[in-house]
Every structure is written in structure tokens, then in C-alpha cells.
Structure 1
Amino acid sequence: MNTQPWRWRLRDATLELSRDPDRRLDAVDPDGRMATVSCGAALHHVRVALAVRGYEVAVRRLSDTGDRLAVVGVTGPAPPSPSACEMAAAIRHRHSDRRPIAATSRVDDDVIAVLDSAAGNEGCKLFRIGDAERAFLGAAVDQAQRSERDDPAYRRELAAWTTHRPPGAGVSFESLVAAVPRPVAVRDFAGDGETGLFPGFGDDRFADYLVLGAPADTALDQLRAGEATSAVWLTATARGLATSVMSDVLEVPSTRAAVGRLLAGRAEPQLVIRTGIQGHPVPPPATSRRALGEVLDEGPP
């Protein structure tokens, strides 16, 4: 819901990353796992931004420390790698594009392999959902969405981050996409209300669904899954793909277990990434962002 649940503290030559407890969604994310994944994505963005500016960094990822997640330190100069340059350029163009994929072919296997390699560099793995498994994933998503829609607390949180969203955060009216038939539904942020973004004429028939898996499901795995999500998303953006993430099917324990069965014990599912060949000439509107002063503190706590 674009809560941006991270806080940074600049102390001497280090940046400390923590979850912002005021941004946790009690109904959607009671244990904070998705907030940790989100913070992992922010951590990867910072790593890329420092690398492309010629800094070598060391990251100390913390475990069992509550909301404190990582410490980033600059260890010296280093020439930026081609991968860092590519990802850094993609940061400014990355969008959540929930419009239906209108392409008439799937993403090439070699491109999926590149995305999987990006996830692998962060200690995670991508699992491409095949045609035979797509109906199973779609049924799990439908079940999760019904479960959340039936929860009054979920509906209140949805309204709080859409209709009544705080400044610089949440899902804006301009980015709400009308619900259209798809093999795997995306979250209906509009709740059957008005939407501000024309969905186009696609139907997601040639969308790809990639389950991001981690070795386990500790807080450290969730943080690394967020870093992998960023790496995959930026790599996909650099290749002109439309991408969005799907967390709702993993927010409900029973449907998260169902997605886990698709992986057959090979990994713990952390997120579903939906991607496909971009068929829309105009990108979706930019996502709202919090002011720097809201997410960055300086000096000791």
C-alpha cells in the first residue's frame, strides 16, 4: 500500500536502517514481514545509489534486533559495475504498473534467466509459474482477496492508504486501475469505486508470474527477499518490462501455504512478481514519496 515503512539514521559514516513501527499495517501485516521485505528493497536501492557514485559498501544485516534491520558503511572507493549503472538508471523509471499486460507473447526465457540471476545475487530464487500452475495461483489469489475483503479491519486500512492516504504515501486515485478479467487478479485498491488510470486493452494472458523464494522465513530472509525484489524489478525495468508485486496472496496464512506447495519445499515464498512485455506507450503516474526529513535522522538516537 506504499506505506514506505523505513527509517534511516545517518551516524558518522554509516546508515542504519530500521522499520518504522508507525507504518505497520496491523490487519494486512500483523507480524511485520512485508514491512521487512519493503525495507529490504529500500536497502538495495541505497546500495545501488552508493555503488554508482563510486563507493564500496559493507552491509551488516541484523537479526533478532526488533525493528533495527541493517547498518550500511562505506569502506572505500570502487569503480561502479555495469550492473550498478544499469540498475541506478532504472531507479528513476521504475513504476508499479498494475495495468493488464497487452503483449501477445511471453517474456523470453533468457530474460527470465537474467531476472533469476539478479535474485540469486541477493541469496534468493525466482520460480516461474507455468501454464498448468497458473489456475492454482489464480484460485489462491481469489481466496486471499475474499478473505481480506471480508475483514472490516482490512477495509479500514485500505481506505486509510487510498481514500484518506497521508501526504507522500499510499496509493493515489490517479494510479487506481479498474478491475478487469484476468487469469490472476491483482489487488483491487479501488474497492469497486472510481479509478483514475485507464487499464488499456490487455488481459494478462501473456503476463508472467514469478514467485520469489528465500531459503527460510526468518527476518533476515525477508530482508534479503526485499533486496532481491529490488534487484529483479530494476533489472526488469532496464529491459523495458512492466512489473508489479503481489503480496496479498502471501498475507493470508492459508494461501501463503498454498503458494509454498507450488515450490514443493525448494524455498519459502516471499512475494509474487508479475511482469510482462510493456505494451502501454505512456507509463503510469509516479508513486508518491515521503519527504526526506520524514525518513532520515542524523546523529545518535
Structure 2
Amino acid sequence: MRRFFFSGTQLRAIWGILLFLLIVVSLRFAQYFAFTRQLSPQALMGPFGMLAEEAIRAAIVIFATWVLARVEGRNWLVYGLGGSCRLKLLVSGAAMGFLTLSVLVAVLMLGGHATLVAEQLSVLQILYAGVTWLLAFLAVALFEELLLRGYLQYTLARGIGFWWAALVWSAVFTWMHMGNGGESTLGLLQTGWMALFFCLSLRVTGSLWWAIGFHALWDWAESFFYGTPNSGLRFSQRLLTETAHGDALWSGGSTGPEGSLFSLFVLVVPLLWLLLKWRRRA
């Protein structure tokens, strides 16, 4: 029985992946029936409801990671959350995420594909919404990065290699966004491309913290700062509101900037920056 489940001292990859998914899916069902379905759709699209929902999801995947680390006799931080430069990576990734999305929005505006209008919020409302959305999207980034590029990436890579595992989980990441109402084919291509980009950041930095920072501030800039649709979803209580103009192929339409053809090229600069910076460090 031990040889069936273990290879030497390690849990076989297939059983580790299945156990991890069983824990996450079971607790997500419990979360849905005990919490999520008690909230209105409007509450879930607002900053506090989103923060509560995503904080629970992040806690679930942290718990599943911790359980599997105990089973396999490892420190749970080894699955992408360890290292000595965590804060530096998080801040660096966050700055690059905000800058990259800002460049994309600027390109859309200069091309006449988007306009921005300020929302009528008080200073206190802006501060409350900005901070709450920031915490919410940090929770989103932690959940999604640790879910697919933490334990699952580490474990599947043991069996089939890093990049084959990255392709598998990037396809799953893309599939997870297919249910968004305003999503488009181009937006899904951008989602898959960004997932591979995050895998590259994991490969070259050895950590998920850079990707978590980039992911969180990209989403925050889209949803709160510029008020664009985020993978087809537009959230409430935002600083600005973006309106798309013209052909959705260029403007992104209801998908948001991620649905624009320009978005497939905007990650080239941070990708090259990652490769050059971390190659020099190596």
C-alpha cells in the first residue's frame, strides 16, 4: 500500500494533485453554500464583498498547500512563497503590473479606442475603495497564483517537467476565465499568455511573489484606478470609468484592455526586463 501511494519518501505526484484538488474543491463548495450564495451579485461586485470572498478562497488554498506540505514532509513555503527577497519581489512586481497596464490604457487612449471619465466620489470614498480593492486583488492574486503555480505546478513538474506542467496549468487558468460574461477569444488568449508569463517569472525568480504583485496591481489598475472591464467584469466604486470606442479588436470592447490586440504585445517589455534582470543576477 505504501509503494502504491509513495515513491520512496515522496507522495506520488498523481495522488498529491488529487488530494490537493479534493481539499480545495470540497472547501470551495462549503464556502459557496455557507457564504457566497448569501450575498447578492451587487455585493460581490463591490470592494468589501469581493475582499471577503477572495480572502476565504486564499485561505482555502493556503490550507490545502499546508496539508500537502505536512504529508510530504516539506515546509509549505517551498511551493513558491519562500525566499529572502519576498517584499522586494512583491513591490517590484506590483510596480511593473501597474506600469504595464497604464501603458496599455495610454495606447488605447492615444489611438482613440478609449476615453476616461472621473467618478463622483469623495476623498474618503476614494481612499476606502482604493485600499479595499487593493486588499481584495492581493487576495485574488494569492489565490490564483498559489492554486495553479504553487503546489500543483511544483508537483506536476516533478513528473513531466516545468514547462509541460506550466502549459497544463495555464490552460486550466484560461478555462477558469471562460465563464466571465464579457470575455472574448482574444481576451482568453491574453489570459493564457499572461499565465505563461507568470510561470516564467516563477522560473527566473524562484518565487511567486513577483507574479503576485504584478497580478494584483494589474487587476487593481484595471478595476479601480482606470475603471475598465476586467476579463469581461466591471466592478463598482472605482476612481475612473473607461469607455471603449470602435472595433473591439483594438479597443477590447466589453472584455476590457485584455481583449485588445495591443494587449498581446504589452507584456513583451516586462518579459524582457525579467529575463535581463534575473539573468544578470544569475
Q: When the two structures are superposed, what TM-score results if normalisation uses the length of structure 2? A: 0.29
The structure showing larger relative contact order (alpha-carbon pairs under 8 Å, at least 6 residues apart) is 1
Q: Name whichever structure is richer in helix by fraction.
A: 2
TM-score by length of 1: 0.28
More strand by share: 1
